[in-house]
Amino acid sequence: MELIKIGDKTYYIENPTNIGIYKIDDENVYLIDTGNDKDAGKKILKIVEEQGWKIKGIINTHSNSDHIGGNKIIQDRTGCHIYAYNIEKNFTENPILEPSFLYGGYPFKTLRNKFLLAKESIVTNIDNNLPNGLNYFPLKGHFFDMIGIRTSDNVIFLADSLFSKETINKYHIFFLYDVKEFLNTLDKLKDIEGKLFIPSHCKATDNIQDLIELNRNKVYEIAENIYNYCKNEVTLEDIQQYIFGTYCLNMNENQYVLIGSTIKSYLSYLYDENKITYEFKNNKMIWKQL
């Protein structure tokens, strides 16, 4: 982990999940997300302590485990407050909700792993609780009530509203809860102005326009592939197998629930756009083009 200064008060720690740091005064800082587990939390604590700072609060952009995994150890050691918005607060306080939601039932033991199930922490609704110099705004689509953060240095933390070129080229399909809202968020990001943008899983950049189009085009590509495959009568399992095969992905329990849930979201999007429909045959749910 490397601490990088990007404004008078704004820093970030370059990490698989980038961590934001904002100084509210000479001594106290707020974190933006905490990484994927207690080890990430320990490293964040070490970096902060080396600077002589104290963690006053944590802002979670959303409740996926790779963004809240360090919450508990940091809160236990510092007593800091943790802030999240609306449904994300509930998931962060009750992290069993994430694997349960993804699986659609009680998650079997191999799904109760650190990549899907973080430790519980005590969370306050973000409301108007942020200090001067920090503002939040909605970034719906990837998860229920994900938010972005703008600092007084005009640095914008974009959470998982954009995925990197490397991620898209390697995996093609990335987790989405609401496809239409994700596309709406991309439209809004086209007009957002800032000095520097920090998506959670991309390098910091002063221009996100190409990244927006890359994400948008890939979403349309996935939607079109699923739509075309529904020219025949197919089940969800058929579609999953097709998508994994098309993009040379390897199925495991984590990918099964993450990509499986995402494919369901694409089916909802296509259904709501009046492109596909469903019926039940022989007690199977069948998807097909209209």
CATH of the domain at 19: 3.60.15.10
**pTM metric for this prediction:** 0.96
- Return the CATH number at 257: 1.10.10.10
The DSSP secondary-structure symbol of 131 reads: P
- Residue 236: per-residue pLDDT: 98
- Residue 108: per-residue pLDDT: 98
212 falls within a domain: no
Reduce the DSSP state of residue 59 to 3 states and report it: strand
Q: How many domains does the chain have?
A: 2
Give yes or no for a contact between 256 and 102, defined as CB atoms under 8 angstroms apart. Answer: no
- Residue 137: per-residue pLDDT: 98
Tokens of 25: 């005064």
Smallest Cα–Cα separation from 117: which of 126, 106, 128?
A: 106
- Residue 1: per-residue pLDDT: 83
- Residue 230: per-residue pLDDT: 98
Smallest Cα–Cα separation from 163: which of 218, 225, 114, 245?
A: 218
Reduce the DSSP state of residue 75 to 3 states and report it: helix
Tokens of 120: 């519980």
- Residue 168: per-residue pLDDT: 97
225 falls within a domain: yes
Q: Which of 179, 207, 235 is the last residue of a domain?
A: 207
Tokens of 82: 């943790």
Chain centre distance of CA 150: 17
Mean pLDDT by 10 residues, the chain (290 residues): 95 96 98 97 97 98 98 98 98 98 98 97 96 98 98 98 96 97 98 97 96 98 98 97 96 96 98 98 98
Residue 281, burial from CB neighbour count under 10 angstroms (0-12, 13-18, 19+): exposed
Question: Which domain range does residue 262 map to?
Answer: 221-289
